[in-house]
Amino acid sequence: MTVKEAEQLTYLIFCTVSWLPDDLKNERWDRSKISSELAALSEQGLVRDITSAHQKPEHWNAIIDSFIFRKIIVDRGFQTRLRAR
């Protein structure tokens, strides 16, 4: 996935887990877990066009803040496109 898609995914999970598969829905998806998981995905090469900052949980925690403070706009169609994959 691209960095922009990963950012949208981060905020989507932060807002709701209702769309996740049942085995993931039962996890506790707080800021810390979301940030750690996205950093791990970045480190594993599953997020394209990253910098070293993307491999740190602090980066993904700041991404959540950027959505909350409207520095990044929510892509309302992202969840639909994600399900179509």
| Contact criterion met (CB below 8 Å) for 10 and 38 | yes
pTM, rounded to two decimals: 0.91
Q: According to the model, what pLDDT value does residue 82 have?
A: 85
Tell me the mean pLDDT in the region 55-72. 98
Domain limits for position 28? 3-84
Tell me the pLDDT tens digit for each residue of 20-36: 889 999 899 999 999 99
Number of domains in the chain: 1
pLDDT in tens, 9-20: 999 999 999 988
